[in-house]
Structure 1
Amino acid sequence: MNFQDWFKLFAEQIASTSIIEWLAVGFGVSEVLLAKKNNIWLYPTGIVSILLSMFLLLNVKLYAEMLLSIYYLVMSVYGWIIWKKRKEEGENQVSYSSNRDLLIAILISTIGFVVFYFALKNHTDSDVPILDAFVSATAWAGMWLLAKRKIENWIFLNISNIVAIPLLFHKKLPLMGCLTAFLFVVAIFGFFDWKKIINKNKLKLAV
């Protein structure tokens, strides 16, 4: 398939995109921009996007990502509560992960992948169990780190994003694929923005 064929297919998919997918993408864009700014409103915005995405993912049989969305929902409420409690401290909560944090994140990714893959392979009609399981497991770890305001959340989320992009196009969800590509780029900037916050806090403590 040449570039013109790909472009035509993409245009056809965009033209047939449902209003639910447009809304999910719109709220998803808002969520990641707010996360980049370290703004607590990322959570209520994200919750709306998650609920809409759950409906879409269920329809295209991305079951692990559907479960991931439920986890996102729980972690969004959890993160919202934590961030609200720490509102007064704000940016001071952004930090690097400890060795223990990273170990837990890696365990979440590894165990999550094994569990997801086994469930998808043996108990669903998924045609992409490996990719679906990988995307979901690494994103689980990223969301856990985001709730704890650890800078490495951007790394885990982007590991998930880079695999999710072609997977979503394969499942004929072009807008969500484009959103994920956008999230990938924003996550890179988010990492460096949070790094600046950490360095600024270090300078304050040194003075």
Structure 2
Amino acid sequence: MINNTGRGYVMIRKQKNILIIDDESVFREAQCSALTACGHTCISVESAGDGIQRLKSEHYDLVLLDIMMDPLDGWDTLDLIKTLPQGQEIPVFMSSAKSVFADEILRFGEQISGFIKKPFVDDDLCEYINKFFEWYDIVLADAAGAGSKGVPSDVCAEWILLSRQVRALIGLKEIVNPRCIPNGTESEEMVFARKLKDIQELIDEKMNKLSSINRDYPLLSIRG
């Protein structure tokens, strides 16, 4: 399916149901308008509590979650989402006008699937979301196919999660804010280099686990 957003054409594989949690009405409306224009359905709420209640009773393919919210910020809300029964399965994209820091990646990078910098161009937002789902739909289809041929469901679920984590962490490492607080023995540059190394080690750990699953269950692949 091809949809004209007014500035360009965006390829849509399948309509997705997206929940937007943002306490700023201008960004809720902008994200919802952009994603609706490129063929998705959106529900937007202004608080973490409203978002959690929606997630408890409704199905969503993706959550767009603002970081700078009060009284509960996006990172705390993310922790709550991941405690829900289906919380580990739902991809979450964080959004913010500020860049993501290394410490945030190290603490939360395994739990999110992407990062959107505000402000954004409508077509860029749609392209970012659609590219994720073009990849993720393949991952889900591969896992479903492997499951139908006898690969245990828990193995398929772990493979899906690891695939999402690796993709997200690689992308986050590329956009990490280089600012770090120096300490008594290390300069800001040295601290940043150490944290980049920690992020890469986390990526390597996830990739090694993926490779191990693929060795044990060749029906699963990493073609996504």
What TM-score do you get using the length of structure 1 for normalisation? 0.32
Q: Which has the higher contact order (CA 8 A, sep 6+)?
A: 1
Larger helix share, 1 or 2: 1
